[in-house]
Chains A and B, each alone.
Chain A
Amino acid sequence: DTGVSQDPRHKITKRGQNVTFRCDPISEHNRLYWYRQTLGQGPEFLTYFQNEAQLEKSRLLSDRFSAERPKGSFSTLEIQRTEQGDSAMYLCASSSSDSSNQPQHFGDGTRLSIL
Chain B
Amino acid sequence: AQTVTQSQPEMSVQEAETVTLSCTYDTSENNYYLFWYKQPPSRQMILVIRQEAYKQQNATENRFSVNFQKAAKSFSLKISDSQLGDTAMYFCAFMKPNAGNMLTFGGGTRLMVKP
Contacts and interface: CB of A to CB of B under 8 A. Distances in A.
Contact of B45 (A31, A45, A91): A91
Interface string A89-110: 0010001010011111111110
B69 to A, nearest CB: 20
B50 A101 contact: yes
Nearest to A4: B44
Given A100-B97, A101-B33, A101-B52, A41 B44 contact: no
Shortest Cβ-Cβ A-B pairs, 8 listed? A42-B105, A100-B97, A106-B45, A45-B102, A108-B44, A103-B47, A56-B100, A42-B91
Interface of B: 4, 6, 33, 35, 37, 43-47, 50, 52, 91, 93, 95, 97-98, 100-108
Contact of A42 (B33, B47, B107): B107
A91 B93 CA distance: 15
Interface of A: 3-4, 31, 33, 35, 40-45, 48, 55-56, 91, 95, 97, 100-109
The A interface is mostly helix, strand or loop, or mixed, namely: loop
Contact of A109 (B44, B91, B104, B105): B44
Most chain B C-beta atoms within 10 Å of own C-beta, residue among A40, A45, A100, A108: A100
Nearest to A58: B102
Contact of A55 (B91, B100, B106): B100
A43 B102 contact: no
Given A101-B33, A106-B44, A108-B43, 19 more contacts: A33-B102, A40-B108, A42-B4, A42-B91, A42-B93, A43-B45, A43-B91, A48-B100, A56-B100, A56-B102, A95-B101, A100-B98, A100-B101, A101-B50, A101-B52, A101-B95, A101-B97, A103-B50, A106-B45
